[in-house]
Structure 1
Amino acid sequence: MKNKGKLLLTLFLITWAVFSIVLFVKQAPNYLVKSYFQSDTFQSTKESFIDQLGHYVLMPFDAEKAKETINVTQGEIEEYRYRYGSLTEQVESIQSQYRGRIMEAEESKDSTLKELLIEERDKKIADIKANFESDDYVKEKIRKQKEQLIDEYAAEQEKYKKSFLNEFSYFSYHFVNIDNGKKFESGTQQKSDLFTESYEDKNPLIVNNSVNINSYDNNVYSEVQDTIPEFQIDGESARYEGSFSIPKSMLSSSNLGTDYQYFNIAKITFIVIWVTGILAIVGLFTFARPKMDMFRESSNVKDAFLRLPIDVRIILIIVVSFISFGLMEYIGNSLINNIIYFNPINLITSSVEELIFLFIVFISVAAIIFGITWTWDSIKNEPKIEEQLKNAMLYRLADGLRDLFLNRSLGVQSVAILIIFFLAGIGFVGASYSVELLMIYILLLFFIGLPAGILFLRRIGYLNRIMRQTEDMARGRLTNDIKVKGKSPLAKHAANLNALREGVKKSMSEQAKSERLKTELITNVSHDLRTPLTSIITYTDLLKNPDLTDEQRKQYIDVLDKKSARLKTLIEDLFEVSKMASGNIEITKQKLDLTQLVQQAIGEHEEAFSLSNLELRILMPEEPLYAYVDGQKMWRVIDNLIVNTLKYSLEGTRVYVTLKQIESNIEFSVKNVSKYELNENVQELTERFKRADASRHTDGSGLGLAIAQSIVDLHNGRLTVEVDGDLFKVTVTIVGNS
């Protein structure tokens, strides 16, 4: 409780000190002077008196002299003459004005009215013709209009002179025209006067009586303003010496005394505030010395404040600072008004209002101090200030604008629509003040605002449809395409989502296929490994029989040897395919003759082809075909493809082995008639453990094409499988080197 009391006292002293400093800055120039007569208020009054004294008393406006100086320029004559058009246009205008009225007089048989109208019309036409015939005629008309304006101006000046003499009656003056000795006096001057200001020959009062007739400053409004907007009357300058003063007697008999008294009261009031402000500052350095820990206590308000972005916190502190300083200035001005316009009832109401505002200032200053302390601690103690800056509202706004313009067309359209809506709101307010603006607003709304609104609603509707169908895609419903409308960015987005949908469908299909092949792989691996392993276990048990004959033992050992070799080959092929699929295999390329390589591979299997009752047909060039390949790996490809034909070709058919060059590529193909029905997906034949012999009666591992495919991929080549009925063809294409 004691700490809270000290905190409130400290905050109050800080508030009062700041309040007194603000009032000092604003009011010290007006009240820290020797007397009322040095204040800005009186200086402004004095300047106004001197200006009007010269204008209304020392050198008053002389209408007759002004008329003598009237000058009419050729430009004014031409402007007056052609103001309503050319001669023919003005005559036609007059005739059209009177034509209807004359016809009405004729129809009513009023000959007298008709004659008067014709006479009036002809007089105006004659006046117009005279305007175009003589410059002197126009010049005289302009002169008379200027004389009329001068008379109106002189009458207004007389009114202002009376008002001036009444308003500044507390001034007494004594001036002499240095050039002609003419004197101007009002009242008497004494040494005891409250204020006196003198002008000497070396520093005279200079007055110029040049005027601008019909200017708005003089509040002269006349019918001739339409033809003579304004003109300058060049007057004379004169020098005066003398002085003006304010007698003591005027303090009690004029408004000056009241102003003088209120000034002194206000001065004392502000001095009291400033002195107490100094005492508050002293208190802050002594018994109420603030400590930063006083403002660091945890609270729900602090937690909520620190959750705001850092720039929002800073902006709030600045806004509250401006509000508090504005309220301080308002309170100071309100004090002056209460003193000047003293009214007991208003004083009570205003005092209550000032106390309320002062309490608001206290809350604002406290909020500023706490806000600055908490913000500074969060910056100083935060290990990663970059995170706070990235969470700032302005940073996120800039980031959002950057994302908005990732698609420039969509960004420009969005900004344009926002500007149109903003201007539409401003236009609605302006249209409520004027019928003309309302008509313009309706036209702009119909031709710009309405189309922009329709476009915006259509785009939002289209976006909602895209979002709904995207949600369906996320839930796995991939049946319907998103309709593509037009060529807008949203239409492009819809097209991209359709492409993504197709990709997802394909990916799901590939995933299903992969799952199926994985299941088949596990099944096939298990079967192909278990078959030789079972034979090995069985014949090993048979060998344990001591009653076996040598012939039987030899026969069993041959079976074990074959099954072990089969198991070894299967495992080696499986490891090799795995290494190739994972990319953990290196190839060493060198320039090799593929013609020779194919001949060697065929040569090793010629006897097998003869025993298999297959007719081998070889088509290859006699000249060498060179390519940069890994000889050992490429031998494996050729050998696997030839061995496949031996295993899966129909007996009594032909096998075609072809090697040829097509442009810069070398193409090797093997074509045969399959002994098994090829009803599987042809591309799956290159998968691991996939065999044309689905019943797995043959001795193959199902890895031949998979290994060949992997080796060809490592050489950046292409392996394709084609099936036409029972006709099976495998083609390997690699880049040649001539």
Structure 2
Amino acid sequence: MRKFKNILILSSICIILIGAMTLFEYRHQFMNNFFESDRSDYSNYTSRLGALVLNPMDTDKVRRNIQVKNKEIEDYRHYNGSLSEQISDINVHYKEKIAEAKDAKATSVVKALTAERDKEIKKITKTFEDDKYVRAQIKKLKIEEIDRYAKNLEEDKQEFLNNFDYVAYELTDLSTGQTYTHGNMQDPALYTQKYDGKQQVLELPGIDDESSWTTSNDMTTESRGISYDLTDIVPSVSHSYKGEIRVSKTAFQNSPQYQEYQSFYIHKILLIALWILSVIAVLALVRNRPLKINVNNDHFLFHTIHKWPIDIRLAIIGVSGMGMIMDLFILSDFLANSSFTMLAEYFKIMIAILILYLFVWFITAQLQLLIEDMNTEEKRLSAYKKTLCFRILEGIRYLFWSMSLILQAMALLIFIFLAGVGFAIAALYANELIGIYFFLFITVAIPTIIIFLHRISYINEIMKQTEEMVEGRLNSEIKVRGRSVFAKHAANLNRLREGVRISLSEQAKSERLKTELITNVSHDLRTPLTSIITYTDLLKNPDLSEDERNSYIAILDKKSQRLKTLIEDLFEVSKMTSGNIELQKQKVDLNQLLQQALGEHEEDMEKADMTFRVHITDEIVMAYVDGQKWWRVLDNLIMNALKYTMEGTRVYISLEKVGQDAQFVIKNITKYELGDQNIEELYERFKRADASRHTDGSGLGLAIAQSIVDLHGGRMEITVDGDLFKVTVTVPIVS
């Protein structure tokens, strides 16, 4: 059913295309009467009737009125050149003949040739001296042309009357009032044309363009090859007529044109039926919208073309469209002009229809696949970037990316071309220039070639170094020579090599930190979890006393809270790092926020074996921050100081304005020796100064603080000087 529907749709499209093409080509021809169409000889009849029958040329009168123009006289004289040139040509022409006759001792021939030569010279001389003589010669030529035309008219007239014996007329010359009749005006007529002499007038020209009119073309001195236009000799006088012209039905049926007449109306009926069928096909397709042909994309041809770029596919569709149009022209010509009397004509029409069907099937299927491949913006962009035109434009863009390189290449090509041309000219046409060319070759060509080879060598060196970079050998730099484009490229490759080396170093560091992260997370999560499992097993002992049971439960509670804190911190720092967190910013007094954070830890600070020195500016320090998140920053930094400050030392905490920023600083002497530890690694998750990880804490404090500060557009810097650990946090202030 699906295949039948496809065939029906494609056949309807073919019918519409054939109907449209035949309507476009033959609508004027077949919408008119046969005798008003291009297939009829009627227009030929009316164009020749005047010159051949009604108002023929008066030969004697035309002869008497022949005029010769001065320009024609000059053209006749100078056709073969000036007088001296023509005389010289005649002498040259006869010189060899006379010499041969003398050698043969043919005295009579010599005399005859000499007399003939002198006669020709005399005639040429007279042509240049006597206008009357020239005028008579030209008039003679014109009379010959008139006589030839009159003879042709007489011959064509009889043939004309025989060919159109089925035409009768009764016409009156409007200027003379004379009436001309021919044939039986009472016979039944197939066609009648009336001229009332007012709105409709029959204009008949006085010259027959189809009668043979050929001028003399022999190149003798008499005719001199002069060509004359008939209208310059015979005056063309048109005559206007009124009356009636009739095509006799009986007589026309016996004429050779009758078969063409029948063929005309057969084709007319055929084409009108085709046009009606085309309209029905259009209505059927419109009614069954949307039009969609089921295309098998797995078809080998479609599957192959589907892989090609869009512009190539469009070009294929365009070429197919041109082929389809050519086939339509051929098919419409067959339908409009075939006689339908031979089997070969039917065969040609069927082949043309089959080819049209294949073209329509292919083009329609390709258009549907093309639309499906470009029905979204993403598909269109992807298709555009894969087109051949895009690739060519990209290539051209990169071709002119470095104009100096293009100019150098063009200069080298021009130089090679000029050198080759110069050598060829010097060797073939100017041997005296060989010395100069050799000097230029030594002083210009050889240095240019050396420079070119030096550049090629440098390019090869760059390519070799590039291959070493690809293979991972990044230690050797490419030498940068001069300031050429290649030197610039070498410098760029060196920067790329350094970037790759740094990238590999960072990648190694990232892998190491990833391993440490997994190890630290496992350790920090396993420690409280192990305790929870151990004390849970201990609680299963029924012989435990109440005090022991309560003690175990308290430990379980502490370890559970520890595990909860670790997991919550881990989730929070992950959210902050990914940016998947919203800030509720508002104006916050940082002085007050710091005092609240210090108040929260006042008891721990008093118990700790260390001294806190706090300096808070008296100015109001307002910042546009999320108060809860910024309090977390202060809390984490204070907790970090409580855990990792050496007993008996001081901790310095300060908040003050520095320019347009608020600066929070906390300094302490570390409990654990930092050594050569990378400061940047202290920002990493689960990284601690306590490498043995005996202290409480998630190892996420600084990482969380860093993320919160970054989200607020601030800066957090860590400085280590020996055992002195300093954290500086800055954030923009608002008035």
State TM-score, norm by structure 1.
Answer: 0.53
Matches of 2:111 and 2:347 in 1, distance apart? 78
1:176 corresponding residue in structure 2: 172
Q: Summarize the alignment of residues 273-422 of structure 1 with structure 2, pairs less than 5 Å apart.
A: 273-284=274-285, 291-292=291-292, 294-295=294-295, 301-339=301-339, 342-343=340-341, 347-383=342-378, 385-405=380-400, 407=403, 409=407
- Does residue 474 (structure 1) correspond to residue 463 (structure 2)? The answer is yes
Matches of 1:145 and 1:187 in 2, distance apart? 40
The amino acid that maps onto 1:204 is V
Matches of 1:573 and 1:217 in 2, distance apart? 119
8 A contact 2:127–2:133 mirrored in 1? yes
- Does residue 237 (structure 1) correspond to residue 233 (structure 2)? The answer is no
Matches of 2:271 and 2:296 in 1, distance apart? 35
Matches of 2:331 and 2:398 in 1, distance apart? 48
Deviation digits for residues 135-165 of structure 1, max 9, x if unmatched?
1121111111222222223333333334333
1:100 corresponding residue in structure 2: 96
Aligned length: 456
Deviation digits for residues 318-350 of structure 1, max 9, x if unmatched?
3322322332332222123322xx54xxx3222
Q: Give the match's secondary structure for 2:338.
A: helix
8 A contact 1:296–1:374 mirrored in 2? no
- Does residue 118 (structure 1) correspond to residue 114 (structure 2)? The answer is yes
Give unpaired runs (5+ residues) of structure 1. Answer: 417-442, 448-458, 479-492, 515-570, 579-738
Q: Which of 206, 210, 216 is residue 209 of structure 1 equivalent to? A: 206
Matches of 1:414 and 1:302 in 2, distance apart? 47
8 A contact 2:459–2:486 mirrored in 1? no
Cα distance 1:496–1:290, how it changes in 2: closer, same or farther (>3 A)?
same
* Structure 1 position 376, deviation (Å): 1.9
Q: Summarize the alignment of residues 231-630 of structure 1 with structure 2, pairs less than 5 Å apart.
A: 231=229, 232-233=232-233, 234-284=235-285, 291-292=291-292, 294-295=294-295, 301-339=301-339, 342-343=340-341, 347-383=342-378, 385-405=380-400, 407=403, 409=407, 474-475=463-464
Cα distance 1:317–1:509, how it changes in 2: closer, same or farther (>3 A)?
closer
8 A contact 1:105–1:111 mirrored in 2? yes
* Structure 1 position 264, deviation (Å): 2.0
Give unpaired runs (5+ residues) of structure 2. Answer: 415-424, 430-447, 468-480, 503-672, 681-735
Q: Summarize the alignment of residues 15-26 of structure 1 with structure 2, pairs less than 5 Å apart.
A: 15-26=14-25
8 A contact 2:217–2:225 mirrored in 1? no
* Structure 1 position 466, deviation (Å): 8.5
1:228 corresponding residue in structure 2: 226
Q: Summarize the alignment of residues 38-117 of structure 1 with structure 2, pairs less than 5 Å apart.
A: 38-42=36-40, 45-117=41-113
Range that drifts further, 326-335 or 296-305: 296-305
Q: Give the match's secondary structure for 2:146.
A: helix
* Structure 1 position 258, deviation (Å): 1.0
Cα distance 1:96–1:321, how it changes in 2: closer, same or farther (>3 A)?
closer
8 A contact 2:152–2:211 mirrored in 1? no
8 A contact 1:211–1:235 mirrored in 2? no
- Does residue 163 (structure 1) correspond to residue 163 (structure 2)? The answer is no
The amino acid that maps onto 1:390 is K
Cα distance 1:129–1:497, how it changes in 2: closer, same or farther (>3 A)?
same
Matches of 2:412 and 2:349 in 1, distance apart? 48
Q: Give the match's secondary structure for 2:185.
A: coil
Matches of 1:403 and 1:95 in 2, distance apart? 72
* Structure 1 position 248, deviation (Å): 0.9
Matches of 1:414 and 1:360 in 2, distance apart? 53
8 A contact 1:251–1:257 mirrored in 2? yes
* Structure 1 position 98, deviation (Å): 2.1
Matches of 1:505 and 1:259 in 2, distance apart? 82
* Structure 1 position 289, deviation (Å): 5.8
Deviation digits for residues 193-229 of structure 1, max 9, x if unmatched?
11121233324333342589xx998344543775322
Q: Give the match's secondary structure for 2:56.
A: coil
8 A contact 1:389–1:395 mirrored in 2? yes
Matches of 1:280 and 1:502 in 2, distance apart? 69
Cα distance 1:192–1:362, how it changes in 2: closer, same or farther (>3 A)?
same
Deviation digits for residues 679-728 of structure 1, max 9, x if unmatched?
xxxxxxxxxxxxxxxxxxxxxxxxxxxxxxxxxxxxxxxxxxxxxxxxxx
The amino acid that maps onto 1:322 is M
Q: Give the match's secondary structure for 2:171.
A: strand
User: Percent identity at matched positions?
Assistant: 24
8 A contact 2:35–2:42 mirrored in 1? no
Cα distance 1:153–1:475, how it changes in 2: closer, same or farther (>3 A)?
same
- Does residue 135 (structure 1) correspond to residue 131 (structure 2)? The answer is yes
